Copies of this chain bind each other. A is one copy, B any other.
Amino acid sequence: MEAVDERFLPVPGNVLPRFAGIPTFMRLPHRAAAELDDVDIALIGVPFDSATSNRPGARHGPRQLRDLSTMIRLVNQATRVAPFHLARCADLGDVLINPVSLDDSRRRIVAYYRDIAAAGVVPLTAGGDHFISWPILEALAADGPLGMIHVDAHSDLYPPYFGGFDSHGTPFRRAVEQGLLDPRRIVQIGLRGSSIDMSDVDFADEHGIRQIAVEEVFDRGVDDVMDEARRLVGKEPIYVSFDIDAIDPSQAPGTGTPEVGGLWVQQAQRLIRRLTGLEVVGADLVEVSPPWDAGGNTAWVGANLMFELLCVLADGVHRRRP
């Protein structure tokens, strides 16, 4: 392994105990968005939840994710990946969103991520509700539509809310409509629950989006499902969007639209590890809503899934490095 830049290694727990210190994501150094020249991967919070149709609170997600993430250590024991040794990671803090305006917030997020993309930095984002994936995609898909692996209880392909409004249920319908995503390279995993009228399924069918219900994952197993998903998205750039409500509410109760009978964390870890080698240009973990989980296990699950995503991203950065 090449020389490691010590400035980007989290302080270990036997120097500063894990409950101590000002919490950044995984105890990484805090960098201003303007100082990105030596950063490979940026961990970013987007504390916006004003597009939530049911239970709000995901605006508090980034802070609790930071808090819990300080319990993450350096090496992924299951895969032996040590992401902070493979790529220079930093916590950029939170995007300055406007909680009383969807439009203003959307503009702010697009502008922010355009700068990230321009700097050649790979973003790993903590939401916030799922609305935020739309402006992120708008910034990242500048060079053409992306593929996507989307893990979620809901398709988020729903028609406009209240007759004509965007919400956290519409981001990927809008992204497909705008050409930010290539629908034939979208795979949605973990779908379940009751539905209003199946209009999202109709949209998926019309555009060739592959939807995999949670029952199918339980029947086929994660490995088989991911083999198919890898085939479908291919080697071209993809985005990975993970909605914490994909996980069963017993493991992740703190979310805005819980659905019973979900994926297990154990399956989600395996699923993310199977993304290794794909061309992932960005990822997010959204819908962690602290007010709905006093115990904080949701954020602890979320922080671990972010770590798994980070291992995939860092491995990609490392492989692509000349």
Contact = CB atoms under 8 A, between A and B. Distances in A.
Interface in A1-51: 12-24, 30, 45, 47, 49-51
A58 to B, nearest CB: 9
A261 B250 contact: no
B291 A293 contact: no
B96 A215 contact: no
Contacts of A198: 75, 77
A102 interface: yes
Interface string A249-285: 1110100011011000110011000000000000000
Given A100-B162, A161-B100, A63 B292 contact: no
Contact of A99 (B53, B100, B294): B53
A55 B102 contact: no
A62 interface: yes
Contacts of A292: 291, 295
Q: Which of A16, A77, A295 has the most CB of B within 10 A?
A: A77
Contacts of A270: 215
Contacts of A73: 193-196
Contacts of A53: 13-14, 17-18, 99-100
A265 B266 CA distance: 14
A135 B63 CA distance: 32
Q: How many copies does the complex hold?
A: 6
A313 to B, nearest CB: 16
Interface residue tally on A, bucketed by range: 35 or more
Given A74-B195, A260-B265, A19 B97 contact: no
Contacts of A266: 214, 218, 248, 261
Contact of A16 (B94, B161, B192): B94
Given A16-B96, A18-B54, A77-B191, 11 more contacts: A16-B94, A19-B63, A22-B22, A49-B56, A56-B57, A67-B67, A75-B197, A77-B194, A78-B192, A250-B297, A258-B300
24 contacts: A14-B53, A17-B47, A17-B99, A18-B54, A19-B55, A19-B60, A20-B59, A22-B94, A51-B100, A56-B56, A57-B57, A75-B196, A77-B192, A98-B162, A101-B102, A101-B162, A104-B162, A248-B251, A248-B265, A258-B300, A260-B265, A260-B300, A260-B301, A294-B294
